[in-house]
Structure formats: structure tokens, C-alpha cells
């Protein structure tokens, strides 16, 4: 029998509906930052462009300080220079009472030039030159010893200067997380750390131990790791104080708090996963406070980087060209790539669009400008159809990018800071070929 005729229809299919894989991540529309249109910033300073918000930095600092200061009597935060050592950014932290935490001679000099006195600098790192150690010692910096050869250097410096040098020990310990960071400092569980402390206490007055330090990792989502670290380092401190009679006065628990970014290995959005500063502070402060009660607890130092600044940093980037790949996938060539976004190895950044362009989202790949196969910012993201000249916003990118960016194929772009009075300040101009050529002869 002949079937009835049914008139064909076209039904529009909407992406973005919830399905068994969760809901799709449609791009957010962000057209301005702190009252400034991103399009205008690009017109004024070029593309690509790093944009930092002072308000967002100060907000984080406030949350962080409140979390620890309300729970601990003598707390001293320090700012991890390698996370972002643009002077204007560092100065915000110093204005808010943060000391400097540096891991090289160059960073030490930067901190000094930013007006931080030597006695407010923590000098960490596995590779401290003899001369930089000597200068830091003369200027009263807190030296965190990483290994025995460094300890021997400091003994020599003490003899040269004919003075007792105050030092601290960096230790590493097992917090039950993987991977276990055991390459920096002296291992606790094996007894190496105690042995190093004995060496200091038996140095005939050349050295005295004033603190112990541990930095357990980075992007540490596991709060229990801090509980274990805080307990172990407090017990170690008490052992040294009571057995070796060293005049210690601080514990430094490093950094490692996660930012609101999404690791490639993560399924859920980080906002569901990351504990806030209060959660970390509660665990850490309680553990240390309890270990020392009823005595006065030592000063607590922290050295956080990533969590303080990542979300305050944005990168505006523009489409240079579009392509359709042989498999039908939409590809965009952007003017910013892994040369500016070192952390793209680990993160799936949020990609936001500057204006709403209705429906028609397509699974797209974002390539950078380099003539290198690996130069990919995002392998998969839903984007509306963009054309040459359109811009997007990549975030959060405030941590570890403007320090690890490289001058490879492309030069580095300008960085602006929107300050707390909403003025736009050029805090690093874009590089020129003269800048690069000046080193050569």
C-alpha cells in the first residue's frame, strides 16, 4: 500500500542542551574588564594584549589575608616572584604587606629594586650563586637552604664575614599525594633533614637555625596534604627546638593553592572542586596552633603565587585567519599561542567571546601564530563563527605566563593594568626588534 505523503520539515537543532555528558560549555560573553571595553584596549595597545585587573588582585589578597589573619596570631604572607614578577604587580602585593619570596639572584635584585628590604626577602631555590648568597646574607635575607653544598657555601661565607649567619631549612615530606615533591630541600622521613639541622647546630656558632620551610606542590586540591604537612613540620620544629636548642621563630608552609582554572585532566569545572582560602587556612592554622599550645606558636609564613593572581590576568587575542580542516573541523589561527601561554600545557583555559553572536556554535580548534605543530591553545571549544579581526579573551592567565613567555618567532606584547581607580596603565610596553638586537654584536 502506498504510504501517506508527509511534508518534509527542517528542524533547527540546538547545541547546548544537557545530555549524558553534562551540559555544553558555551563561551561566556565578556566585553569589558573593570569598565573598559576590550575592543578599545586592543585599539589602544595592540593585539595580543595581556590585561590585569588591580581590583581582582586586591580582592584575592583580602580574602587570603582575612582567612589566615583571623585564625592565626602572627601571620606573614610573602609573594612568590616567579609567578608574576612584573614590578607593578609585585608592588601591589608589597603595598598589602606581603614580603618577597625569590628563587634566584635576578629575582632577589628585582625585589630589592622594588623597595623590599633584604630582611623582608625569603631566598629559596636550588641554585643560589655564592655571590648572591653572600649579598643576601649581608642584607639579612631569610636563606632557605636547599642542599648540603649550599650549606657548605654558607659556612664559608660566615667565615669570610666573621659573623653568625641565620639560616632556615627547606625540607620535603610525604603528604600522601602523588607525585611527592622530594627534590627540593632535605627529606624529613629519611632523617636527612634532622642531620642537616644537626650540622647547623654543631657549626661552632657559625650558623643558627631560625626556621623550617616546606612547599608541598602546586595546584594542590587535596586539603588533607596541608594537614599532614602542617603537623609534620610542627613536630619537626618542636624536635629541633627542644633537642638542638636552636632559636627558631618561624614555620613557612609555602604556596600551592589552586586557582580557578581547569586542568586538562579534570572532568568537572574547577569552581566545583577548589576549596576556598578559608578551608586551607582552617586546616593549617588549627594543626599548627594545636601543636604549639599552650606555648606561643611560631610566626607562620606563606608563599603563595598562582591562586593570588591567575584570575586577575586575561589575554586578548585576535583571529589572523580561519580554516576548515580536512575532517571538517573549524580552525582559527590566533595571534597568541604557546609562546605567550606556557601554562597551556596543563590548562584548558576559558575562551570567552567579546560579543554575543546568536546561535551556530561549532567545535573549533585554536592555533597560535607559531610555525610549530604543537602551537595549540585549545583543542576543542565551542565558538560562534569568527572572522579575521575578531577577538577573544583567554583566561585565567595571570600566573606563570608573563614570566615563562618566550620570545620565539613572535615578540612579546604589551601588558596593561586597570588600576583600582579604573585607569588603564601600560605596565610593560611591547617589544621591538631593537630590544632583541641590543644583546648582539
Site residues, ligand PLP (CB under 6 A)? 80, 82-83, 101, 103, 124, 215, 218, 254-257, 303-307
In the complex, the smallest distance separating the C-beta of residue 364 from ligand PLP, rounded to whole angstroms, is 30
Return the closest-CA partner of residue 232 out of 276, 193, 279, 196.
Answer: 193
Do residues 209 and 244 touch, judged by C-beta distance below 8 A?
yes
Closest separation in Å from C-beta 255 to ligand PLP: 3
As measured in angstroms, the least distance from the Cβ of 221 to ligand PLP is 12
Q: Which of 109, 152, 118 is nearest to 138 (CA)?
A: 118
Residues 6+ apart with CB under 8 A from 77: 64, 65, 68, 97, 98, 99, 301, 302, 303, 304
Residues 6+ apart with CB under 8 A from 7: none
CB of 307 to ligand PLP, least distance (A): 6
Q: Is the dihedral of CA 134, 138, 143, 148 positive or negative?
A: positive
Between helix 87-95 and helix 105-113 the angle, nearest 10°, is 60
- CB–CB of 75/288 below 8 Å? no
Burial of 73 (0-12, 13-18, 19+ CB in 10 A): exposed
The pairing of strands 36-37 and 32-33 is antiparallel
Q: Could you tell me the smallest distance in angstroms from the CB atom of residue 367 to ligand PLP?
A: 28
Task: Pick the closer one to ligand PLP by CB: 253 or 338.
Answer: 253
Q: Which residue has the cell 618567532?
A: 409
Q: How far is the CB of 348 from ligand PLP (least distance, A)?
A: 19
In whole angstroms, the minimum distance from the beta carbon of 402 to ligand PLP comes to: 14
Which residue has its beta carbon closest to ligand PLP? 255
Cβ closest to ligand PLP, residue 168 vs residue 234:
168
Cβ neighbors of 38 (< 8 A, separation 6 or more) are 30, 31, 32, 51, 316, 354, 391, 393
Nearer to ligand PLP, 120 or 306 (CB): 306
| Closer residue to ligand PLP in complex, CB, 172/203 | 172
In the complex, least distance from residue 325 CB atom to ligand PLP, rounded to whole angstroms: 36
Inter-residue contact 23 to 13 (CB < 8 Å) = no
Q: Which is nearer to ligand PLP, 136 or 392 (by Cβ)?
A: 136
Residue 318 and residue 334 in contact, taking contact as beta carbons nearer than 8 Å: yes
Beta-sheet pairing, 36-37 with 75-80: unpaired
CB of 117 to ligand PLP, least distance (A): 20
Q: In 147-281, which ranges are E strands?
A: 165-172, 186-187, 207-213, 250-252
Q: Considering beta carbons, is residue 82 or 120 the nearer one to ligand PLP?
A: 82
Q: How far is the CB of 256 from ligand PLP (least distance, A)?
A: 4
Of 75 and 362, nearer to ligand PLP (C-beta) is 75
Give whichever of 83 and 187 is closer to ligand PLP, judged by the CB atom: 83
Cβ-based nearer residue to ligand PLP, 103 or 285? 103
Q: Residue 332 forms beta bridges with which residues?
A: 322, 366
Q: Of 222 and 363, which CB lies nearer to ligand PLP in the complex structure?
A: 222
What is the C-alpha end-to-end distance of the chain, expressed in Å? 90
The total number of residues written for the chain in this structure: 441
3-state secondary structure of 193: helix
Q: Which of 253, 220, 260, 229 has the alpha carbon at shortest distance from 68?
A: 253
Shortest reach from residue 241's CB to ligand PLP, in Å: 23
Closer to ligand PLP by Cβ: residue 84 or 391? 84
Amino acid at each position: 500500500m502506498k504510504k501517506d505523503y508527509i511534508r518534509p520539515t527542517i528542524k533547527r537543532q540546538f547545541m547546548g542542551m544537557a545530555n549524558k555528558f553534562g551540559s555544553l560549555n558555551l563561551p561566556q560573553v565578556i566585553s569589558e574588564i573593570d569598565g573598559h571595553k576590550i575592543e578599545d584596549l586592543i585599539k589602544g595597545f595592540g593585539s595580543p594584549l595581556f590585561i590585569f585587573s588591580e581590583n581582582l588582585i586586591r580582592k584575592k589578597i583580602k580574602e587570603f589575608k582575612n582567612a589566615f589573619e583571623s585564625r592565626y596570631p602572627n601571620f606573614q604572607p610573602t609573594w612568590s616572584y616567579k609567578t608574576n614578577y612584573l614590578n607593578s604587580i609585585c608592588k601591589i602585593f608589597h603595598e598589602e604587606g606581603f614580603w618577597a619570596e625569590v628563587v634566584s639572584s635576578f629575582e632577589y635584585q628585582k625585589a630589592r629594586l622594588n623597595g623590599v628590604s633584604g630582611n623582608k626577602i625569603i631566598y629559596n631555590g636550588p641554585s643560589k650563586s655564592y655571590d648572591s648568597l653572600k649579598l643576601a646574607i649581608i642584607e639579612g635575607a631569610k636563606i632557605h637552604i636547599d642542599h648540603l653544598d649550599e650549606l657548605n657555601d654558607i659556612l664559608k661565607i660566615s667565615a669570610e664575614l666573621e659573623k653568625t649567619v641565620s639560616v632556615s631549612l627547606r625540607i620535603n615530606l610525604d603528604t600522601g599525594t602523588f607525585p611527592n615533591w622530594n627534590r627540593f630541600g632535605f627529606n624529613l622521613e629519611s632523617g636527612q633533614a634532622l642531620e642537616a639541622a644537626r650540622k647547623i647546630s654543631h657549626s661552632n656558632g657559625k650558623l643558627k637555625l631560625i626556621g623550617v620551610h616546606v612547599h608541598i606542590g602546586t595546584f594542590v586540591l587535596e586539603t588533607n596534604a596541608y594537614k599532614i604537612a602542617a603537623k609534620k613540620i610542627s613536630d619537626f620544629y618542636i624536635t629541633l627546638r627542644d633537642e638542638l636548642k636552636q632559636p627558631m621563630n618561624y614555620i613557612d608552609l609555602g604556596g600551592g593553592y589552586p586557582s580557578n582554572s581547569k586542568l586538562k585532566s579534570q572532568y568537572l569545572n574547577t569552581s566545583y572542586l577548589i576549596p576556598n582560602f578559608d578551608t586551607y587556612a582552617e586546616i593549617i592554622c588549627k594543626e599548627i596552633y594545636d601543636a604549639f599550645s599552650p606555648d606561643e606558636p611560631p610566626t607562620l609564613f606563606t608563599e603563595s603565587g598562582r591562586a593570588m593572581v591567575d584570575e586577575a590576568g586575561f589575554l586578548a587575542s585576535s583571529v589572523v585567519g580561519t580554516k576548515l580542516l580536512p575532517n571538517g573541523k573549524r580552525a582559527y589561527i590566533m595571534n597568541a599561542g604557546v609562546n605567550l601561554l606556557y601554562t597551556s600545557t596543563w590548562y584548558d583555559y576559558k575562551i570567552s567571546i567579546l560579543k554575543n553572536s546568536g546561535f551556530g556554535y561549532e567545535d573549533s580548534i585554536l592555533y597560535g601564530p607559531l610555525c610549530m605543530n604543537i602551537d595549540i591553545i585549545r583543542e576543542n571549544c565551542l565558538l560562534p563563527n569568527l572572522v579575521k579581526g575578531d577577538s577573544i579573551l583567554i583566561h585565567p592567565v595571570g600566573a606563570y605566563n608573563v614570566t615563562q613567555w618566550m620570545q620565539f618567532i613572535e615578540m612579546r606584547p604589551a601588558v596593561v593594568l586597570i588600576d583600582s581607580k579604573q585607569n588603564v596603565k601600560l605596565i610593560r610596553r611591547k617589544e621591538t626588534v631593537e630590544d632583541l638586537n641590543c644583546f648582539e654584536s
